[in-house]
Amino acid sequence: MDVDQTEPLYRYPYPSPELADQHPFVAHEHQRLEDGEMSRRAKAFLALVAKRRSVRMFSSDPVPRDLIEVAVAAASTAPSGAHKQPWTFVAISDPRTKARICEAAEAEEHTNYLQNRMNAEWQESLAPLGTDHHKEFLEVAPWLVVLFEQRYELRTDGSTRKNYYVKESVGIAAGLFLTAIHDMGLAALPHTPSPMAFLRTLLGRPENERPFAMFPVGHPLPGVRVPDLQRKALEEVLIVLERSD
Ligand code: IYR
């Protein structure tokens, strides 16, 4: 069935003239690519992200602060509910702060692993990863980036506003951060010591913020090994309802 392109595609164009009168809009900067170029880029991007791995031993070699800043700037381009950008990244290279975080995280994980705060099924799922309560990477990696979600907005005058889809928004930002770190040739580990409320007080963050995840970042320790994981096949993760014309 041919779509009649002589008819306008949209009956309700965005922005409506009324909307454009009330709020600023600009032309979207976009250059349409040739099909072949799209395909090449798609495959190159897949090849890039397929090589990303979480590593658990980092080199202590320093990483310039501006690389972390660029990764956070990239993460902060993430789409977010009502464009609230409800995230704060705390980037730490100060050894004393890293050591305090490491100590507190290991204490929580000690309870998780050795006093069975994680149940048997959970521990069984983790067995192939071989994780335990030792979290030395938190101290060794040159950077520790702690990502906080802003449960609500706290304005400078003390008033508050709601944020929307906070977990979804911060999750997307986290994904972009990991991808940016990988693309610049560094490695990271998404780490969620549980519970991790201690990070808010330890880092002096305001009460509207809750830790979402933290990421040791650095060069992988040369020769580091990672679990021999297989990723699900496309058919396992994708269902297509295709047009049949
Ligand atoms: N937070 C613990 C346990 C842990 C949980 C999951 I789910 C993992 O994928 C890996 C670890 C820890 O960091 O050891």
- Best residue among 102, 106, 113, 192 to mutate for probing ligand 1's pocket (most ligand atoms within 8 Å of CB) is 192
Contact 84, 153 (CB under 8 A): yes
All residues at 6 or more sequence positions from 45 whose CB lies less than 8 Å from its CB, including other chains = none
**Ligand 1 proximity of 125 Cβ (cutoff 6 Å):** no
CA distances to 18, 81, 186, 217 from 64, in Å: 48, 32, 11, 11
**Ligand 1 proximity of 126 Cβ (cutoff 6 Å):** yes
**Among 95-109, 114-128, 183-197, 226-240, the least confident range:** 114-128
Q: Measured between alpha carbons, how far is 17 from 14 in angstroms, rounded to an integer?
A: 8
Which residue puts its alpha carbon closest to atom 13 of ligand 1? 193
Per-residue model confidence (pLDDT) at position 193: 87
Per-residue model confidence (pLDDT) at position 6: 61
pTM for the structure as a whole: 0.95
Tell me whether residue 157 is in a domain: yes
Which residue puts its alpha carbon closest to atom 12 of ligand 1? 193
Distance (angstroms) between ligand 1 centre and the Cα of 118 equals 9
**Ligand 1 proximity of 191 Cβ (cutoff 6 Å):** yes
Per-residue model confidence (pLDDT) at position 194: 84
Q: Which atom of ligand 1 is nearest to the CA of 191?
A: 13
- Best residue among 117, 123, 126, 191 to mutate for probing ligand 1's pocket (most ligand atoms within 8 Å of CB) is 126
Evaluate if residue 141 carries a pLDDT over 90: yes
Tell me whether residue 47 is in a domain: no
Pairing outcome for strands 209-218 and 187-188: antiparallel
Share of the chain above pLDDT 90, in %: 90
Tell me whether residue 110 is in a domain: yes
Residue-number span of the structural domain to which 105 is assigned: 53-219
Q: What is the rounded average pLDDT for all residues in the chain?
A: 95
Cα 82 to the chain's mean position, in Å? 19
Tell me whether residue 226 is in a domain: no
**Ligand 1 proximity of 192 Cβ (cutoff 6 Å):** yes
Tell me whether residue 14 is in a domain: no
Q: Measured between alpha carbons, how far is 42 from 58 in angstroms, rounded to an integer?
A: 30
Q: Which atom of ligand 1 is nearest to the CA of 125?
A: 7
Tell me whether residue 23 is in a domain: no
Q: Measured between alpha carbons, how far is 159 from 154 in angstroms, rounded to an integer?
A: 6
Evaluate if residue 185 carries a pLDDT over 90: yes
Per-residue model confidence (pLDDT) at position 179: 98
Contact 145, 61 (CB under 8 A): no
Tell me whether residue 94 is in a domain: yes
pLDDT band at 4 (very low <50, low <70, confident <90, very high): low
Q: Measured between alpha carbons, how far is 150 from 200 in angstroms, rounded to an integer?
A: 12
Q: Which CATH number does the domain housing residue 151 bear? A: 3.40.109.10
Query: How many domains is the chain partitioned into structurally?
Result: 1
Sign of CA dihedral 30, 34, 36, 37: negative
Which residue puts its alpha carbon closest to atom 7 of ligand 1? 126
**Ligand 1 proximity of 194 Cβ (cutoff 6 Å):** yes
Tell me whether residue 202 is in a domain: yes
